[in-house]
Amino acid sequence: MTALPAGAHVEHHGPGRPASREIDWPAIAQVAPVLAATSQRYLDQLALSLRPASVVSADGILRRFAGYLTANHPEINGLVDVQRQHIEGFKRYLPTRPGKNGRPPLSEQTIRMALGTLRTFFERVSEWDYPDAPRRVLIFNGDLPTPDDPLPKFLSDVDAAKLMRAAADADPVRRLVIEMLARTGLRVGEFCALTADAVTKIKGRYWLRVPLGKLHNDRYVPLHPQLVELLDEHRASRDDDIDRLVIWNGGPMSRHQISRILKRIAKVAGIGHVHPHQLRHTLATQAINRGMSLEAIAAMLGHKTLRMTLVYARVADQTVADAYDAVSDQVDALYSKPTGLRTNGNGSAGMTGLVDEYHHTMLGNGYCNRPPQLDCQFESICESCAYYTTDKSFDPVLQAQRDHAAQRDQHHRVDLFEMLLDRNQRTYQ
């Protein structure tokens, strides 16, 4: 059995329960050289296609896994030696691993990301035909903790209005920051990266060009006229050559400065703590509640797929309420029929009126008491059916139906029965 090299930084917290710190690859290579080489080769490939931050994240997770193996299973030389039992042990270890600098243990979301990164690692080295690839599938969907799916946190219309009123009384730069985030839905990182020439005029209106960012796509966001005025005032007040659209205290803005500005304005507004990303969620929710299409919202926010945008359909409470109100009268009418489910007269004024006033429609052998608020796709279906026939012996009934419809201003039925009577007249004269 090969012992861990000096300086490997692996600590134990209980019998048989080691917890690896961020062991470095040279130390891992002394215990499991093939595993270290395979991991390094994989990470080199990731560096060619992913952003540096994504590669750093994958590197940390792979070193965490390798550190666990070298501490608990030093007999493992390469990835090909890893078995299902090692994965199960790593799963048990992750929730017990203490966080850095006294932080709490890893969250379920972090554990899910670690196991997902490992699974992708195993799959890729197999697909790429690495000689050290695992012999079989080692991580399955069921191994990953079920993720929480919370709704985005957004400001109510009342709180959003309070925030904007408070921003209007702030100094020009703070107001500009709040207005920009609230009216464009920018991510805070995108806002900080906007260059001095980000505003452009196309076909008579101003747009904000948002460069390549988190999802590797750039886009144009329409600018509210008030934002254009605020940006013009900010540009006129500057005397520098810093290539940023908005500056603060003589330099580019950082996400921490923006968070502090928003925190201060939210406190003045009396709405508690507000995170910059909440303004993005708020704009999307306001837009969908007021009829903006999902496709347009996705384009404005820079979403690659509608799946990312559909989450706002779940929080569009006003949209749901409007749709419900649109059918509630029809539902009330249904329940207020004499033979329906509710006849005690304790409903709304509209329902009470429907109980007393019925829309009698005369049929060949009776009446239909369907209230006018309820649509019926079968109305007059008999008379318009290709198999329907009549003759002059039915003229008295048809005339009675025509007169009954005329008394109730059912013009389409009047026309129908006039047509049938006229056809009988011409056919059987």
Tell me the catalytic residues.
187, 214, 277, 280, 303, 312
Pair of tokens at residue 59: 């590197």
Q: How many CB atoms lie within 10 A of CB 264?
A: 13
Is-contact 116 141, C-beta < 8 A? no
Q: Are strands 205-210 and 219-222 parallel, antiparallel or unpaired?
A: antiparallel
Is-contact 276 116, C-beta < 8 A? no
Pair of tokens at residue 9: 């930084």
Amino acid at 325: D
Helix (H, G, I), strand (E, B) or coil at 222: strand
Is-contact 176 229, C-beta < 8 A? no
CA 405 to CA 415: how far, in whole Å?
A: 9
Is-contact 14 43, C-beta < 8 A? no
Is-contact 325 331, C-beta < 8 A? no
CA 260 to CA 282: how far, in whole Å?
A: 19
CA 199 to CA 220: how far, in whole Å?
A: 9
Amino acid at 376: C
Q: What phi, psi does 62 have (nearest 5°)?
A: -65, -40
CA 294 to CA 316: how far, in whole Å?
A: 12
CA 159 to CA 185: how far, in whole Å?
A: 17
Q: What phi, psi does 292 have (nearest 5°)?
A: -70, 140
Pair of tokens at residue 301: 């926010």
Amino acid at 177: V
Instruction: Tell me how far apart the terminal alpha carbons of the chain are, to the nearest angstrom.
Output: 112
Query: What 8-state DSSP symbol labels residue 381?
Result: T
Is-contact 98 53, C-beta < 8 A? no
Unique residue bearing structure tokens 């932080």: 103
